Amino acid sequence: MDVVIKSLQSIYQRDLEKLRDEIELYSSEESLWLIDGKIANSGGNLCLHLVGNLRHFIGAVIGGPGYVRDRELEFTTKGTPRAELLAAIDETISEVLNGLNKLRPEQLDEEYPLIVFTEMGPMTTGYFLIHLATHLGYHLGQINYHRRLLDR
């Protein structure tokens, strides 16, 4: 397997396991869903967003059909039990790794099958997978700060 694909697998697994750890560290399920002042997204909603994003763009688009995303619900759903969030993270790890296992090295240089950012136009699969990894890291940091600031 290509070193870049193996590296992506390692990064996604590491950060999704860290997401799992962050969700487990909240002292209560209620704290997962708190918002305050200018903190508009709860840790729970950011978790749902990351799961939906990766299950769609890697799991379904690259790995094969199955997951159907409802992006709006990622931000409007409230109170999903922690156990369901953790199970969704575990499913995401499996689907992301499965999708990346199906990826051929030459696909990294090919156009990603969807136009995701209309202002940018087509992009390579490799570029988009790197974007998704940085997106995961960005929101993972937000969840960490959310937990440390609002988890009383």
User: How many DSSP H helices and E strands does the chain contain?
Assistant: 5, 0
More confident residue, 110 or 116: 110
Separation of alpha carbons 61 and 13, rounded Å:
18
Query: What percent of the chain has pLDDT above 90?
Result: 90
pLDDT in tens, 47-75: 999 999 999 999 999 999 888 999 999 99
CATH code (residue 62): 1.20.120.450
The predicted model scores a pTM of 0.95
As a whole number, mean pLDDT of residues 24-48 equals: 96
Total domains present in the chain: 1
Q: What pLDDT score does 147 carry?
A: 97
Supply the range of the domain harboring residue 109.
3-150
As a whole number, mean pLDDT of residues 21-36 equals: 97
